[in-house]
Structure 1
Amino acid sequence: MAYMTWSFLPEHVHTPEATALRRDYYDDVASRYWKRPATEAEVDDGLANDGVELLTPPTGQFLVGRYEGKAAACGGVLLLDAERAELTRVFLRHAFRGTGGAGTLLGRLEDAARDLGARRMVLNTRLDLVEARALYTRHGYGEIPAYCEGPYMDIWYGKDLQAPQA
Structure 2
Amino acid sequence: MSFAIALEDPAKPEIIALLEDGERYGASLYPAESNHFLSIDELRADNVRFAVARDADGVAVATGALALNESWAELKRMWVVPTVRGRGLSKALLNELEDRAREAGITWLRLETGIANHEALGLYERTGFVRIGPFGDYRPDPLSVFMEKRLD
TM-score, normalization: structure 1? 0.79
Select between 85-94 and 24-33 the one with higher mean Cα deviation.
24-33
1:108-162 superposed Cα distances (whole Å, 9 cap, x missing partner) = 1111222333111000111011111001001110111211227685211000112
Mapped partners of 1:24, 1:150: distance in 2:
26
Decide which of 5, 16, 19 is 2:2's aligned counterpart: 5
Mapped partners of 1:111, 1:95: distance in 2:
26
| % same residue | 31
Mapped partners of 2:44, 2:25: distance in 1:
24
Q: Secondary structure at the match of 1:24?
A: helix
Decide which of 5, 13, 16 is 1:16's aligned counterpart: 13
Mapped partners of 1:159, 1:60: distance in 2:
18
Mapped partners of 1:87, 1:136: distance in 2:
11
Q: Secondary structure at the match of 1:110?
A: helix
Q: Which residue of 2 aligns with 1:78?
A: 67
Contact 2:131 2:146 in 1 (8 A): yes
- How many residue pairs get aligned? The number is 147
TM-score, normalization: structure 2? 0.86
1:155 paired to 2:145: yes
User: Which runs of structure 2 are paired with 1:66-105 in the superposition (5 Å)?
Assistant: 66-68=54-56, 69-79=58-68, 81-105=69-93
Mapped partners of 1:151, 1:160: distance in 2:
23
Mapped partners of 2:13, 2:133: distance in 1:
37
Contact 2:10 2:50 in 1 (8 A): yes
Which structure 2 segments of 5+ residues have no match?
none
Contact 1:125 1:152 in 2 (8 A): no
Q: Secondary structure at the match of 2:61?
A: strand
Between structure 1 and structure 2, the one with the greater Rg is: 1
1:29-87 superposed Cα distances (whole Å, 9 cap, x missing partner) = 111336xxxxxxx9xxx89x9444343464111111112222110010101x3100000
